[in-house]
Amino acid sequence: MLYSTEQLVSIAVTVLLVMFSAIVHEVAHGWVAYRLGDPTAKEAGRLTLDPRAHLDGFGSVLLPLIMAFLGGPVFAFARPVPYNPYRLRHPRRDELLVALAGPASNVLQALVGTALLGAFWSLAPGAYASGTLSLELVGGTLDLLTTYVYVNLVLCFFNLIPFPPLDGSKVVLFFLKGDARRKFYELSQYAMVGLILILYVLPTVLGFDPLGIYLNATAGRFYDALVTLATGV
Q: pLDDT tens digits for 76-111?
A: 677 888 889 899 999 889 999 999 999 999 999 999
Question: What pTM, to 2 d.p., does this model score?
Answer: 0.88
Summarised one tens digit per residue, pLDDT across range 104-113 is 999 999 999 9
* 7 vs 138, residue with greater confidence: 138
Closest listed residue to residue 104, CA positions, set 28, 217, 19 = 28
Vertex 209 angle, CA 81 and 149, to 5°: 50
Confidence of residue 150 (pLDDT cuts 50, 70, 90): very high
2 band by pLDDT with thresholds 50, 70 and 90: low
Average pLDDT value over all residues in the chain: 87
**Which residues contact residue 97 at a Cβ distance below 8 angstroms, ignoring those fewer than 6 apart?**
32, 36
Among 26, 43, 95, 186, the active-site one is 26
Of residues 64 and 230, more confidence is placed in: 230
DSSP 128-155: HHTTSS-HHHHHHHHHHHHHHHHHHHHH
Amino acid code (one letter) for 52: R
Q: Is residue 26 flagged as an active site residue?
A: yes
Residues across the chain: 233
Question: What is the mean pLDDT of the segment spanning 190-197?
Answer: 71
Q: Which residues contact 128 (CB under 8 A, 6 or more apart)?
A: 134, 135, 138
